[in-house]
Amino acid sequence: MAMIASRSHPGAPSWLAVRALVFTAVLCVSCSDKKKPVDPPPVDGTDVRVQLLSAAGECILGTARDFLPKATALQAATVTLRDAPDAAAVAAARTAFHEAMDVWEVMEAMQVGPAAPRSSPGGAEIRDNIHSFPLYNRCSIEEQIVSKGYESASFSTSLVTRRGFLALEYLLFYEGAETACGPNSAIVAQGTWAALPADERAARKRAYAAVVAADVRTRAQALVDAWAPEGGNFLKTLATAGSGNTVFPTTQVALNAMSDAIFYVEREGKDQKLARPLALRDCASDTCPELLESQFAGRSKQNLHLNLVGFRRIVDGCGPDYSGTGFDDVLVAAGAEAVATRLRAEVVGAEAALAAVEEDDLRQALAQDKASVQAVYTEFKGITDVLKTDFITTLDLEPPAGLEGDND
């Protein structure tokens, strides 16, 4: 949220505080005497909520299975680059990175169960170990290059900022010689970064990339195994929410987990990938391109598009042209077809705004046509405004943790 100065009189509540109170009041009308539903009986023998959970689980597992061979190909490409570095190997590794990210960014809006944080039902944090955005620390990666910490047997349990796609993007795409570390970092204070020959630094980056890609591939396999019927069968866990289910004791709990996942477009999409680079929050300059998700591969625009694809697969349906059961069907069953229609229109508007950005990457767009990126932010806000009001109130869902204090 952008820091906006209040011009109210001394002692009067700030404009933002008043807005927060109004927002809370809208969400909490009759909160004191409102009871949460306890899985009411289905109408005509069907419960569209159960159908959604089953369809969403199949969609998540299917997307995870699509990601696994891409992660496998990325691992193989980085091994080739490590062992036989040439221009063709560099190009192949970068292509493999893009192809893997093309699937993973769809998965970003599907963080349910094993991919979700441990604080979530069934959460195992697989996502953060594959892609930790917005947690990123380039200096931490460069310190690993100097120390060769990636060779440690415990590297797979090291900080997520040293691993995953953000580290891979730096290792595969960044060709500069300087370090982002400050004077207090040992590699600067002791001169070890400057003393590292260029050829040796490049060789270590290739070796490091192969280790990180192998770790991503291991996590990709773990995600499939966790969801697959022949493995942990989280597919069944989600589809059978209700009495006797230790992860989702009611259907409503499972729906809340699904809702939390699609709020990705609010937290990471609108707030992290757009508001911060646009200097609407956490930025003291006119723009902060260094806060974009993709720093070196030029994927910031593409990633947002793919996030919307994942969002629509859960909201509209995972079939061709977003057919199939989605949250929109649950809204229709609740008598709120207008909310589903509005939400769909807002998503289409966001996709159009992204397509209207002429530059291939948002870094270029921020410098050359900031207004076009602002338009994308505005359209994403249209989506999240629906989510934070009519969507969660109609379906009696709980807003994600931390959302209550977000007033933008």
Q: What is the DSSP letter of 349?
A: H
Q: Which residues pair with 46 in a beta bridge?
A: 43
The phi, psi pair for 355, rounded to 5°, reads: -65, -30
Q: Which candidate, 148, 66, 134, places its Cα nearest to that of 100?
A: 66
Q: Cα–Cα distance between 270 and 282 in angstroms, integer?
A: 13
Assign 397 to helix, strand or coil: coil
Residues ≥6 apart with Cβ < 8 Å to 101: 165, 297, 299, 303
pLDDT per residue rounded down to tens, the chain (408 residues): 333 333 333 333 333 333 333 334 333 333 333 344 444 445 455 799 999 999 999 999 999 999 999 999 999 999 999 999 999 999 999 999 999 999 999 999 999 999 999 999 999 999 999 999 999 999 999 999 999 999 999 999 999 999 999 999 999 999 999 999 999 999 999 999 999 999 999 999 999 999 999 999 999 999 999 999 999 999 999 999 999 999 999 999 999 999 999 999 999 999 999 999 999 999 999 999 999 999 999 999 999 999 999 999 999 999 999 999 999 999 999 999 999 999 999 999 999 999 999 999 999 999 999 999 999 999 999 999 999 999 999 999 999 987 755 566
Topology (CATH) of 39-235: A middle domain of Talin 1 (1.20.1420)
| Cα–Cα distance, 245 to 231 (Å, whole number) | 18
Task: Give the Cα separation of 305 and 106 in Å (integer).
Answer: 9
Q: What is the pLDDT of residues 88-110, one digit of tens each?
A: 999 999 999 999 999 999 999 99
**What is the Cα 235 distance to its own chain's centre?**
21
CB 373 within 8 A of CB 270: no
The Cα–Cα gap between 109 and 367 comes to 28
- The C-alpha atoms of residue 285 and residue 218 are separated, in whole angstroms, by 40
Question: Chain centroid to CA 375: how far?
Answer: 21
Residue 82 has a pLDDT of 98
**Contact status, residue 188 vs residue 162, Cβ threshold 8 Å:** no
Secondary structure element (H or E) that encloses residue 224, with its range: helix 198-227
Q: Name the burial class of residue 156, with classes exposed (0-12), middle (13-18) and buried (19+) by CB atoms within 10 angstroms of its CB.
A: middle
Domain residue spans of the chain: 39-235, 263-408
Q: Which of 238, 100, 209, 75 is nearest to 150 (CA)?
A: 209
* Residue showing tokens 């994403």: 380
Question: Residue 43's beta-bridge partner residues?
Answer: 46
